[in-house]
Structures are given as C-alpha cells and as structure tokens.
Amino acid sequence: MNDSAYLDVSPNCRIPLAEIDFTYAKSGGPGGQNVNKLNTKAVLRWHIMTSTAMPHEVHLRFIEKYKNNITVEGDLVLQSQRHRNAMDNMEDCLDKLRTMIRAVLKAPRPRKPTKPTAASKRRRLDAKKKQSEKKSGRRLRGAEE
C-alpha cells in the first residue's frame, strides 16, 4: 500500500485507512437548499477493539480516555458537519482522530508525592492558632457578676 492508505499520527503510529469506515448523512442546521438534498455530514467509525495499529499501552490509554466515544460493539464514532462538503468533513474527522491519538501517545508522568515545606507548615499552624484565639475570645468567661 502507498502512504496515502494510512493515517499518519506519529513516526511510530500509522493507522490503515482500511480499518476506518465513513458514512455520510444530511447535516443539520442552516445551509440553504443544499441542507435538505446533500449528504455532507461525515461519520467516522473505527473498530478500535480489533485494531493493532497502535502499541498496546497507547491502545489501553486511548480506550480509557475516550470510553464515552466508543460504542458497545467497540467502534469509535466521530462526526463532523462543520464544512459544506463531505470531503472537508471527512478530513475534519481524520484530524479529530489524529488529535485524540496524539493526546494519549505519551504516557503521563507519575506524580511524585512531596512533603510540605517548613514555611507552609508554620503558616498552617499560625492560621490554626489565630482561628482558635478568635473563637476562644467569643466564649463567656464565667459569671463575673
């Protein structure tokens, strides 16, 4: 296959366009007479559960992050109706998919737990002491009459 038969996401991640299905439907919203005649909305369906185009770790991160966009059958569904013709909407769907994959390509850095600084401990204790003094000043000091 040639280079145009792949969706290039990164140098080590290429998705075969044969795995991606497009359907077209009538777009909603304003658009004049063409809105009722032409199928310009592009709907991308990619069966992500059987795809082997991405490394396994990236595949798992993708499924976890975008689980709301994945159907029960395991298809990722994206749609675009921003443009007035189907080809531009198809390209927009592919750009969305490329952006989604790039968002999960790099593993997130694990959080390193840090200890509070001495100054922040001192500020916290000073604030607690000030609050305690404020509240204790409101108490009755006993019946002095």
Domain ranges of the chain: 3-105
The H or E element spanning position 125 is helix 118-136
Closest CA to 31 of 86, 90, 84: 84
Nearest-CA neighbor of 21 among 1, 51, 55, 54? 51
- Higher-confidence position of 2 and 1: 2
Which of 8 and 93 is assigned the larger pLDDT? 93
Over 80: is that where the pLDDT of 143 sits? no
Domain 3-105 listed as CATH 3.30.160.20:
yes
pLDDT recorded at residue 4:
63
Q: How much is the average pLDDT of 140-144?
A: 61
pLDDT at residue 136 greater than cutoff 50: yes
Q: Are residues 106 and 67 in contact, defined by beta-carbon separation less than 8 angstroms?
A: no
Between these two residues, 33 and 91, which has the higher pLDDT value? 91
Q: Is the pLDDT of residue 35 over 70?
A: no
Task: Return mean pLDDT, the chain.
Answer: 86
Mean pLDDT of 18-40: 79
In the structure, what pLDDT confidence band is assigned to residue 45 with cuts at 50, 70 and 90? very high
Q: 40: closest CA among 23, 53, 57, 64?
A: 23
Q: What is the pLDDT of residue 1?
A: 43
In angstroms, how far is CA 67 from the centroid of its own chain? 10
pTM here is: 0.69
The distance of Cα 138 from the centroid of its chain, to the nearest Å, equals: 51
The Cα 75–Cα 86 span in angstroms is 21
pLDDT at 142: 61
Q: What per-residue confidence (pLDDT) applies to 3?
A: 52
